[in-house]
Structure 1
């Protein structure tokens, strides 16, 4: 499972935008041909099969805060309708105004205090294409979407780690009560532990570099690794999927 962030842009939300109270229209993904940090572009039509699958299933695409799959309080919204246009994949949704956190997130979105959208997905079909500048890019042609989330900037890794931590604690509680964990569950926990370890090592390495240079990275200056041509590594995103699988298995 992967996640991608996009700026919220102009959000339509509530009566001032011709919608009912609590409703919104957003674009979780756009069809810009400018590759993102991972070298990906999304092709028109990438969501059409998945939209049809959601409609035929009778299930509802959930809207979360911060990819928090581990806590039902963070299932703050849902999709009423979704589709594609020339700009991208759009979702018309509604906040759960009776949930513990739905009204608060709604106010944050209307007040422009949440800055990004994100969605969790699997790639079903992709291929290499040539960008306008002649550079090769990876085109995502068919996607399976699991949820969309309202997120603050840079929240991906933090929320993934929180989800893994919460689910690991739940698994530990099950184990203490005498339930035997299957081998695949143990492997998922080990993978999560390794991924979190990589995040910590990377963060400590960056701190060591700052100390050695004597100059901390400022808000208006990107660290050297962000300026490199290599895409950023997000080891915790992969394990969010594994942790979610574990959550379902333990339910």
Structure 2
């Protein structure tokens, strides 16, 4: 199973016609050569979209193609179709799941703006064509028929032409807290809890950075000389939620404005 990523431009607005937690975008764009030298051809998804429709199961929406952790199964595709641009998907995120809610904030804040899909090649082959406005030719691998497993929101893309078209906007925790404070209102228990979580996550990141600096300078414990390699390994890969950290930083910027 392979994955293919694409850039996504996010457009948000109050009259987007989407329910809270939904967004529309392109998981794939036809015709352009991506960084792998592949071109997804029109019709590549047609047969498999019919298969999904016949099954009656929703196409999963994940974050970062993480299929091993249910927390990263963040939603479902409500509708998918091919148009003249590419594979257009209407996704609904499960906002009751913490990871999905975080991804939704990232999408609305334009901190993540790319999509991807996981697939197998059913039919494909090498082709040549002339480059635009040039007599030179380019060779590429044409993906003519694909089996689709899921679509994902991802941090980095290979195909830089796919776009997320609409995102239903809701205020971030930073926006909600800043609004409450500026209006002289007491911070709600929910916002206070989210703020404390972000603050604690930021503290863990700073602690890890200090620890890494000590190791790099030779003043801290070394994995080579440690007695517990598993613990050392865990210390190098801390469980810190980057979205919570970014929310804390966003809040600090809002309050200092």
TM-score by shorter chain over 0.5: yes
Q: How many equivalent pairs are there?
A: 153
Aligned 8 A contact 2:6 2:116 in 1: yes
* Alignment partner of 1:20 is 2:23: no
Partners of 2:116 and 2:157 within 8 A in 1: no
Q: Which blocks of at least 5 consecutive residues in structure 1 are unaligned?
A: 156-251
Aligned counterparts of 2:90 and 2:112: Cα–Cα separation in 1 = 17
Structural mapping, 1:106-185, within 5 Å: 106-133=104-131, 134-153=137-156
SS in structure 2 of the partner of residue 77 of structure 1:
strand
Q: Distance in 1 between the 2:26 and 2:157 partners?
A: 18
- In the alignment, the residues of structure 2 paired with residue 70 and residue 89 of structure 1 have an alpha-carbon distance, to the nearest angstrom, of 25
Q: Deviations over 1:20-43 (max 9, x none)?
A: 1111101010013x3112211011
Task: Name the structure 2 match of 1:174.
Answer: none
Match of 1:71 in 2: 69
Structure 2 runs not aligned, ≥5 long = 132-136, 159-257
Q: Which structure features the higher share of helix residues?
A: 1
Aligned partner of 2:167 in structure 1 is none
Offset, 1:154? 6.5
Rounded Cα–Cα distance in structure 1 between residues aligned with 2:46 and 2:11: 22
SS at match of 1:89: strand
Q: What displacement does 1:120 show?
A: 0.8
Cα distance in 1 between the residues matched to 2:15 and 2:53: 29
Residues in 2 aligned to 1:59 and 1:49: alpha-carbon distance in whole angstroms: 15
Instruction: Tell me how far apart the structure 2 counterparts of residues 26 and 15 of structure 1 sit (CA, whole Å).
Output: 17
Pair 1:128–1:57, CA change in 2 (3 A): same
Secondary structure of the structure 2 residue equivalent to 1:153: coil
> Hey, what's the Cα distance between the residues in 2 that align with 1:75 and 1:15?
27
The Cα of 1:15 is off from its aligned counterpart by 4.8
Give, in angstroms, the shift of residue 58 of structure 1: 1.2
Q: Given the superposition, is the C-alpha separation of residues 11 and 70 from structure 1 closer, same or farther in structure 2, using an over 3 Å criterion?
A: farther
Contact persistence 1:15–1:21 (CA under 8 A): no
For 1:11 and 1:71, the matched residues in 2 are separated by 29
Question: Is the 8 Å Cα contact of residues 61 and 73 (structure 2) preserved in structure 1?
Answer: yes
Shifted more, 123-132 versus 76-85: the winner is 123-132
Cα distance, 1:11 vs structure 2: 4.5
- Structure 2 SS opposite 1:36: coil
